[in-house]
Amino acid sequence: MGVSRILLVFTIAIIMAMFLVWERNKIIESGYQVAKLQKNCTELSEKNRKLNYHVNRLKSPQIIVYKIQSLKMPLVPQDATSGIIMLGQAKFQENVAKSQKTSLNKDLYTQKDQILNCCSLHN
């Protein structure tokens, strides 16, 4: 009985030691993964900073003028197009207002009447 108890205690001690070694290896492996992810995060942050710099540089008026001149695109004065843009915005606002009115009317018959009126106006 004495030998079997000693073997049992020895086996339990070996199993506990193996568990501790396995656990410590997992912790070390997790540490390596964290370090790798931190390095990756730093690299991506640097790339993001560089890309933001390039985007801001490309948005600068000097670069835009240079690109327009290099592509030989005609420059249209802003006053000539502002009337067209304003007219387009007014139409857009009217369409939004109409769609909001239609969505507020939950009655199917009312929506059907509005659709028929709209179609008769176009014909």
Are residues 94 and 59 located together in one domain of the fold?
A: no
What is the dihedral angle through the alpha carbons of 95, 99, 102, 106, rounded to the nearest 10 degrees? -170
CB 106 within 8 A of CB 115: no
Q: Is the pTM above the cut of 0.75?
A: no
- Predicted confidence at residue 65, as pLDDT, reads 80
**56, 75, 94 - which closes a domain:** 75
- Residues 38, 92 within the same domain: no
CA distance 98 to 95: 5
Element holding 105 (H helix, E strand): none
Residues 71 and 93 in one domain: no
Q: Give me the tens of pLDDT residue by residue for the chain, a chain 123 residues long.
A: 688 999 999 999 999 999 999 999 999 999 999 999 999 999 999 999 999 999 998 888 888 888 888 887 766 655 545 554 455 555 666 665 665 555 544 444 455 555 555 545 444
pLDDT reported for residue 75: 65
